[in-house]
Amino acid sequence: MLTLAEFVKNRRKDARLTQEEFAERAGVALTVIRKIEQGKGNLQLEKVNHVLKMFGHELAPVNSKDISKG
């Protein structure tokens, strides 16, 4: 399973976009893209979802109990 950082970086590169171009198209600051791709913590879910919507995805909170049932 890919990390969020790997997923975003791979998809951005597949689209042949620089971080700057991608940030502009996603409607977020360049620092948001850099933080995501570097795997930094403390990201705003809303900003991450702006980026993921470019690929038709979205993050949502999940109860850890639900994950352990799978």
Structural domain contains residue 11: yes
- Domain total of the chain: 1
The CATH number linked to 40 is: 1.10.260.40
- The pTM (predicted TM-score) of the whole model is 0.78
Q: Which two tokens stand for residue 13?
A: 């590169």
From first to last of the 70 residues of the chain, give the pLDDT tens digit.
889 999 999 999 999 999 999 999 999 999 999 999 999 988 899 999 989 998 999 988 777 777 666 5
Q: Which domain holds residue 12?
A: 4-56
In a domain, 17, yes or no: yes
Q: Is residue 38 part of a domain?
A: yes
Whether 66 is in a domain gets the answer: no
Least Cα distance to 5 among 52, 46, 50, 44 occurs for 52
Residue 65 domain flag:
no
In a domain, 41, yes or no: yes
Confirm whether 68 is domain-assigned.
Answer: no
State residue 63's pLDDT score.
77
